[in-house]
Amino acid sequence: MKKILFLIVPNGFRDEEYDIPKRVFEKNNIEVVTCSDKPGPLTGKLGKVTANVDILLKDVKIEDYDAIAIAGGQDYFWNNPKILEMLKTMDQAKKPIGAICISGCIPAQADIMKGRKCTVFETPASVEEIKKHGAIYTGEQCTVDGNVVTAEGPTAAKNFAEEIVKQLS
């Protein structure tokens, strides 16, 4: 069984950006390991979803996973050294990387998106951030470039998850 590390912020992750992909992954027999830097249970921004944390960020060995996905939730994980290193490792191994909403900036911050296309929840700061790192902003709902899947927000959650599933097939 394939295994995906699903990273969520401890305060204010978007309910749909976690819950919808999680259900898509599980329906496709992908084991979902929920990760944050604080123990759970954690409640989504809308208060509709509660997530149990399976592993703390500090304890993750990224080599144990077939893919990584990062749900949206402000810029909380921007420039987090551990996450940036995990993304570099996953990219070098050509393993799927997914980032939705404002988290779409994180692969760019890991310097794995130079000359590659991506999308993000559009704010002046988020678009500037990905361009600053050499990524090509598409403005699309969901963008796939190689092993990296980015999506603009909650309305793209199902498509985002399905693209990651394709990569794991």
Name the residue ranges covered by the structural domains of the chain: 2-168
The confidence score (pLDDT) of residue 138 equals 98
pLDDT of 48 reads: 93
pLDDT band at 75 (very low <50, low <70, confident <90, very high): confident
Confidence at residue 166, expressed as pLDDT on a 0 to 100 scale: 98
User: In the predicted model, is pLDDT for residue 74 greater than 80?
Assistant: no
- Which CATH homologous superfamily contains domain 2-168? Class I glutamine amidotransferase (GATase) domain (3.40.50.880)
Give the model's confidence band at 40: pLDDT under 50 very low, under 70 low, under 90 confident, else very high: confident
Q: Crossing angle, helix 157-168 and helix 15-27, to 10 degrees?
A: 40
**CA-CA distance, 152 to 53, in Å (whole number)?**
24
pLDDT attached to residue 141: 97
What is the rounded distance in angstroms from the CA atom of residue 152 to the CA atom of residue 49? 20
Predicted confidence band of residue 80 (pLDDT cuts 50, 70, 90): very high
Cα–Cα distance between 118 and 92 in angstroms, integer?
18
| Amino acid 10: pLDDT | 94
Q: What is the DSSP string of 63-80?
A: GG-SEEEE--BTBTTTT-
Residues in CB range of 93: below 8 A, 6 or more apart: none
Render pLDDT for 134-144 as a digit per residue (tens, 0 to 9). Answer: 999 999 999 99
The CA distance from 158 to 114, in Å, is 26
Average pLDDT over residues 18-35: 98
* DSSP annotation of 54: S
Tell me the mean pLDDT in the region 89-109: 97
